Amino acid sequence: MDWLELNIFTTHEGIEPLSAALIGAGITGLVINDPNDITEFAENKNPTWDYIDDEVLAKQNDEAFITVYIQKDDSAADMLNEIRSIVGSLKSLDEAEEYGRLEILSSGIREEDWANNWKEFFKPIEIGNKLIIKPTWEELPADCKRCVVELDPETSFGTGRHFTTQLCLELLEKYVSNGDSVCDLGCGSGIISIAAIALGADNAVGVDIAEDAANIAKANALKNGIADEKYTVYCGDVTTDIALKEKIGKGYNLVAANIVADVLMAMKEIFAEITKPGGILVISGIIDDRRDEVIEAVKQCGFTLIEDLHRDMWNAAVYKRDKL
| % the chain with pLDDT above 70 | 83
Cut 0.85: pTM above it:
no
Q: Which amino acid is at 141?
A: P
Q: What is the pLDDT of residue 131?
A: 92
Among 77, 82, 164, 180, CA closest to 127: 164
Among 288, 281, 287, CA closest to 307: 281
Instruction: Check whether 298 has a pLDDT greater than 60.
Output: yes
Confirm if 257 and 267 have CB atoms less than 8 A apart.
Answer: yes
Write the pLDDT tens digit of every residue in 86-127. 898 888 888 888 999 999 887 644 555 555 555 665 778 899
In sequence order, the 6+-apart residues with CB closer than 8 A to the CB of 45 are 52
Domains of the chain: 3-118 (3.30.70), 163-321 (3.40.50.150)
Among 169, 165, 117, 121, CA closest to 147: 169
Mean pLDDT of 7-11: 90
Among 268, 273, 277, CA closest to 249: 273
In sequence order, the 6+-apart residues with CB closer than 8 A to the CB of 41 are 49, 52
Q: What is the pLDDT of residue 157?
A: 52
Q: What distance in Å separates the CA atoms of residue 247 and residue 285, rounded to the nearest whole number?
A: 25
Q: What is the pLDDT of residue 27?
A: 78
Most confident of 70-84, 118-132, 141-155, 176-190: 176-190
Write the pLDDT tens digit of every residue in 271-288. 999 999 999 999 998 989
Query: What is the C-alpha radius of gyration for the chain, rounded to an integer number of angstroms?
Result: 21
- Phi, then psi, of 134 in degrees rounded to 5: -140, 150
